[in-house]
């Protein structure tokens, strides 16, 4: 078996690394839209804050070739107020209206090479997303609501029939109709962002289950989530009758099966969702005392936890709860989790560690584009092909991450399992050649 495994791995790596030098494609045309609709969903989260330390403007989605490989861009995130409304704010910890639509984007960061002027109705990331869509007409942009930090008041918004109606109406008005608050200098106004966002992504982390400390959690969240997605579908369809378009509705769902049972009526919610993305990462991290995988396709042999998490376990969990496989999209990380002070022997896996590995922005968390530079630079790449995961180890520091070979293996699993596609968190973790996104494009290409 060993020679066979080696040949198979070599083929996977060869296919994945073909993409590193691939040139970005020409601008999308009419055929681009048809191809996107016919094939797998390829969803990428664009982070509002990525324009700062990571220096990742919207333009990089175009110049790297990522945009033409994606079907959806999810903008992270939109906030939910205590009284259950979608809102945009510039207050510390509440939002970043400057990044969203006020910041004048200079010519060198602009998708079309034209600089913004101060006070235009639509500047910032929103304005650049509009330009990106003009260049790639098959691309859909979703506003993702909540996330880990801004799910605090989702329960309030979903609590009653009246609160659900008001919440959904506020989100459609703000993002799809584009009625943005007017900021100092004049950015915003009625219809300023109309056409930027095509639909809504619900990232409530998590109904009736602890997320960030301080989140409002109620037992009735489980039933109210179903009622909320039903209300979103009703109002999006009503709005679509005025625009003569279908406005998609998606949700981000957990890998934890206890959270699945606590917060979701599995079969029911898929009556209203176009598709759902499933968490395929953060299975382990430096909060654990021993090194482990954070995003393996299958549970590795010898794993210290039983039962344990894996991408396949998460997908099987949703299938067992009535989710249609053709509406499940597997999440893939563009970052790794790391430990340092690793003791023991061997390749570093399942060994005691003293804490999180030093990293650029957050201890124990590092982007793929930086981790890829460690291979051969004091670190050795290790793989478990059966389990579908890879890690880096230098004798002291350990990083679990997805490289092109692992990503390609996951796309083959998506195809074989009959799933709807792949989602990535987050696009700013990829390298300047969009290597991981191109790998997904290759693995999920349609004839």
Cα separation of 255 and 425, whole Å? 15
Closest CA to 206 of 257, 263, 160, 258: 263
Place of tokens 């794993």: 303
**Does residue 428 come out as left (phi exceeding 0), alpha (psi in the -120 to 50 range) or beta?**
alpha
Neighbours of 3 (CB within 10 A): 7
Q: Are 217 and 230 in contact (CB under 8 A)?
A: no
The Cα–Cα gap between 400 and 353 comes to: 14
Neighbours of 112 (CB within 10 A): 13
For residue 413, the surrounding DSSP H or E stretch is: helix 404-417
Asked about 268 being catalytic, the answer comes back as no
Strand partners, 44: 73, 424
Cα 353 to the center of its chain, rounded Å: 29
What phi, psi does 310 have (nearest 5°)? -160, 170
Q: Which helix (H) or strand (E) holds 124?
A: helix 124-135
Is 186 exposed, middle or buried, given 0-12, 13-18 or 19+ CB atoms closer than 10 A?
A: middle
Choosing from 205, 231, 312, 366, the catalytic residue is: 205
Q: Rounded to whole angstroms, how far apart are CA atoms 22 and 26?
A: 12
Asked whether the beta carbons of 404 and 436 are under 8 A apart, the reply is yes
Q: What are phi and psi of 268, to 5 degrees?
A: -65, -40
Half-sphere exposure of 102 (CA within 13 A, CB side): 15
Query: In three state form, how does the secondary structure of 216-244 look?
Result: CCCCCHHHHHHHHHHHHHHHHHHHHHHHC
Judge contact between 291 and 401, C-beta under 8 A. no
Indicate left, alpha or beta for 341 from its phi (over 0: left) and psi (-120 to 50: alpha): left
Using CA atoms, how far residue 369 sits from 191, 281, 403, in Å, is 37, 17, 10
Catalytic residue IDs? 205
């Amino acid at each position: 078996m060993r020679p066979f495994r080696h040949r198979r791995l070599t083929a996977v790596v060869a296919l994945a690394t073909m993409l590193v030098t691939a040139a970005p494609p020409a601008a999308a045309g009419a055929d681009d839209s048809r191809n996107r609709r016919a094939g797998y969903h390829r969803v990428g989260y664009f982070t509002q804050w990525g324009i700062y330390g990571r220096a990742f403007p919207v333009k990089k989605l175009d110049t790297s070739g990522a945009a033409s490989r994606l079907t959806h861009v999810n903008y992270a995130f939109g906030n939910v107020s205590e009284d259950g409304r979608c809102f945009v704010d510039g207050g510390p910890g509440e939002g970043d209206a400057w990044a969203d639509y006020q910041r004048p984007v200079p010519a060198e960061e602009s998708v079309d090479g034209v600089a913004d002027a101060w006070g235009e109705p639509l500047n910032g990331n929103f304005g650049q997303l509009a330009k990106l869509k003009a260049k790639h007409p098959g691309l859909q942009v979703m506003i993702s609501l909540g996330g880990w930090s801004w799910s605090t008041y989702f329960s309030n918004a979903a609590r009653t029939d009246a609160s659900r109606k008001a919440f959904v109406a506020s989100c459609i008005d703000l993002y799809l109709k584009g009625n943005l608050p007017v900021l100092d200098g004049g950015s915003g106004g009625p219809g300023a962002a109309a056409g930027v966002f095509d639909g809504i992504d619900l990232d409530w982390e998590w109904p009736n289950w602890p997320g960030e400390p301080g989140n409002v959690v109620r037992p009735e969240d489980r039933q109210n989530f179903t009622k909320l997605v039903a209300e979103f579908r009703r109002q999006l369809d009503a709005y679509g009758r005025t625009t003569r378009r279908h406005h998609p509705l998606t949700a981000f769902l957990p890998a934890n099966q206890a959270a699945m049972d606590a917060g979701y009526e599995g079969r029911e919610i898929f009556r209203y969702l176009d598709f759902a993305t499933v968490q395929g990462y953060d299975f382990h991290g430096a909060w654990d005392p021993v090194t482990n995988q954070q995003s393996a396709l299958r549970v590795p042999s010898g794993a210290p936890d039983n039962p344990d998490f894996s991408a396949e376990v998460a997908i099987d969990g949703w299938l067992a709860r009535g989710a249609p496989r053709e509406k499940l999209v597997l999440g893939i990380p563009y970052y790794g989790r790391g430990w340092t002070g690793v003791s023991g022997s061997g390749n570093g896996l399942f060994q005691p560690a003293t804490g999180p590995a030093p990293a650029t922005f957050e201890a124990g968390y590092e982007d793929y584009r930086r981790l890829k530079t460690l291979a051969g630079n004091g670190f050795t790449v290790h793989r478990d092909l059966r389990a579908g995961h890879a890690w880096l180890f230098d004798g002291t520091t350990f990083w679990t991450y997805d490289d092109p070979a692992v990503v390609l293996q996951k796309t083959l699993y998506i195809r074989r399992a009959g799933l709807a596609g792949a989602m990535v968190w987050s696009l700013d973790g990829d390298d300047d050649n969009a290597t991981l996104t191109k790998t997904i494009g290759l693995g999920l290409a349609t004839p």
